[in-house]
Amino acid sequence: MIIHRRTFVGGAGALLLSGFLSPASKVLAAEKGGTLTLGFTSETSSMDPHWHIVTPNNSVSQHLFDRLVHLDEKQGLVPGLALSWKPVDDQTWEFKLREGITFHDGSPFTADDVIFSAQRAQNVTGAIFNMRAYLSDKVFEKVDDLTLLVRTDAANPLVPNELSTTAILSKAVAEGAASADFNSGKAAIGTGPYKYVEYTPGAQVVLERNDAYWGDKPDWKRVVIKPLPAGGARVAALQSRNIDVIDNIPPADVAHLEGTAGLNLVKDVANRMVFLSMDQGRKVSPFVRAKDGSEIANVFLDRRVRQAIDLAIDKKAVATHILAGNGAAASQFVPEGIFGHNPDIPLKDADPEKAQSLLAEAGLADGFQLTIHGPNDRFIRDSAVVQAIAQMLTRIGITMQVDTMPGNVFYKRASSGGPEDGSEFSFFLVGYSAATGEVSGALRNVVHSVDKDRGLGSNNRTRYSNADVDALIEEGMRTIDDAKRLEIFQSACAMAIEDVAYIPLYYPVSVWGLQDSMTFAGRSDERTLAMDFHSAR
């Protein structure tokens, strides 16, 4: 983590650029006990915390809803609604719940609410991510109101990590509630440090401090979260002091803001892989065509084609030039320092000539037509990265088309709606950050073959499947010994990368901008939480 500090000198230009303020506006930096205004690149797609585990949604929902186990800024486990936990045997964990916790409506929190929440999280109609990947192997047994046993089908060393993903709701309030009831506020009642006030899609989320909260009292009485997808607008709002904190500072603005008085920049390498996903489940893929536009067999089913695309992409150039240092080139699913990282997996140099040779071996010497899809407001310069990938692939003879769109549209289309109940797309840029803070999340959700009954492959949008990789993943998931589990997961990662299951591109370097009247330690999970910002006054 790197922190840059300066002293603020106001400027009329910044006020005019922001588009938020009238000339007569009086803008003050956030003060303890006042309002903290956060500017997010992407807005939450739902106030229902079980709708989609994605960073913008998690960042908002964690203000309202606690988990049994929380993750600190480096994704280490800390007590949440569970005061303590321990394994009773290889297939049973005991959780002791906090006493005296109440929901925002004053009703008491008990083990019944945990059991209800775990069941609901797996069965939300229309949810983009149904949580079965983390919950389907678990049976919850109430011992008393404050004691819970969690039994698993097989030994599972990651039960506390996995339960850190699931927001705890009030059974009395949320039973039978639809996601629309959370958006309206009717069901948005948790035990978290903030209460729901307002959710206006596309405009703002407004929260009010829960002064009855069991944990540390946040500095800010009121929090306003505004979606500001345009990087220039976010930066201008920060400079004008109309916004106290922004996430995802555009690379082109980093150097300028480091020299701007009154602002702090906080940088942290994110535990997220941004990668390319290729259709490996259909015989014919919707956006793969011959050079003349006619239908051809799905080229991604040939490993040589996947290898060619991987070798055509200069990942170092993407990180250094397109992202201007706001990304680190990726060779695998998690960065160094995260459990499961395999130091023996090399970062390959781009080799366009070898890529063309592999296409020729696959009978595609003349290339083919391909559309790459991606979001244009989810990651730093995501549309520019997509364009750069298209140019690199054009150089090896693939005729490329580019189609980017807002993240809330992209993720729905990337996850469903296509032929054979798959993605609408054939080839697309997406990201994944394991909510558990280690590699098993990526392996079980993104890499493992789709198994809806067991909740495996829940983010395997393009139906990659390798039985040998699956076997290693499942072996690691039931191995209690940390050293053995690490070795197994590293082997699974190596095998999947060798098979070009996906093409890792980079790990984002998260950059937050904030007023120098505040302190912030950064987060490896990229979340922006009002509770983590503290007034220096």
pLDDT (tens digit per residue) in 382-391: 999 999 999 9
Residues 6+ apart with CB under 8 A from 211: 217
Domain boundaries, the chain: 273-508
Average pLDDT, the chain: 90
Nearest C-alpha neighbor of 298 from the set 423, 153, 142, 441: 423
Write down the residue that tokens 């991606």 correspond to: 374
Q: How far apart are CA 321 and CA 506, in angstroms?
A: 12
Residues 6+ apart with CB under 8 A from 357: none
Q: How far apart are CA 74 and CA 271, in angstroms?
A: 9
pLDDT at 478 over 90: no
Signed CA dihedral, 513, 519, 523, 529: sign only: negative
pLDDT (tens digit per residue) in 106-118: 999 999 999 999 9
Question: At 26, is the pLDDT very low, low, confident or very high (cuts 50, 70, 90)?
Answer: very low
Predicted pLDDT of residue 130: 67
**% of the chain with per-residue pLDDT over 70:** 94
H-helix or E-strand spanning residue 234: helix 231-239
Predicted pLDDT of residue 127: 81
For the ranges 1-10, 103-112, 128-137, 421-430, the one whose mean pLDDT is highest? 103-112
**% of the chain with per-residue pLDDT over 90:** 74
Nearest C-alpha neighbor of 427 from the set 381, 383, 385, 386: 386
pLDDT (tens digit per residue) in 484-526: 999 999 999 999 999 999 999 999 998 999 999 999 999 988 8
Predicted pLDDT of residue 256: 86
pLDDT at 1 over 60: no
Q: How far apart are CA 446 and CA 394, in angstroms?
A: 27
Amino acid at 421: D
pTM for this model (two decimals): 0.71
Predicted pLDDT of residue 13: 30
Predicted pLDDT of residue 154: 87
Q: How far apart are CA 503 and CA 500, in angstroms?
A: 6
pLDDT (tens digit per residue) in 71-116: 998 888 899 999 999 999 989 999 999 999 999 999 999 999 999 9
SS3 132: helix
Helices 467-477 and 482-498 cross at an angle (nearest 10°) of: 160
Q: Are 14 and 240 in contact (CB under 8 A)?
A: yes
Residues 6+ apart with CB under 8 A from 16: none
Structure-block tokens of residue 202: 């596309």
pLDDT at 7 over 70: no
Predicted pLDDT of residue 529: 97
Q: Are 295 and 487 in contact (CB under 8 A)?
A: no
CATH number of 273-508: 3.10.105.10
Nearest C-alpha neighbor of 330 from the set 447, 504, 503, 494: 504
Q: Report the DSSP beta bridge partners of residue 199.
A: 205
Q: How far apart are CA 113 and CA 125, in angstroms?
A: 20
Amino acid at 425: F
Task: Determine the distance from the C-alpha atom of residue 198 to the mean position of all C-alpha atoms in its chain, rounded to a whole number.
Answer: 24
Q: Are 397 and 366 in contact (CB under 8 A)?
A: yes
Q: How far apart are CA 535 and CA 528, in angstroms?
A: 15
Q: How far apart are CA 487 and CA 343, in angstroms?
A: 11
Q: What share of the chain is helix, strand, coil (3-state, %, to 5)?
A: 30, 25, 45
Ranking 307-311, 418-422, 472-476 by mean pLDDT, the lowest is 418-422
Q: How many CA atoms lie within 13 A of 499 on its CB side?
A: 18
Q: How far apart are CA 227 and CA 222, in angstroms?
A: 17
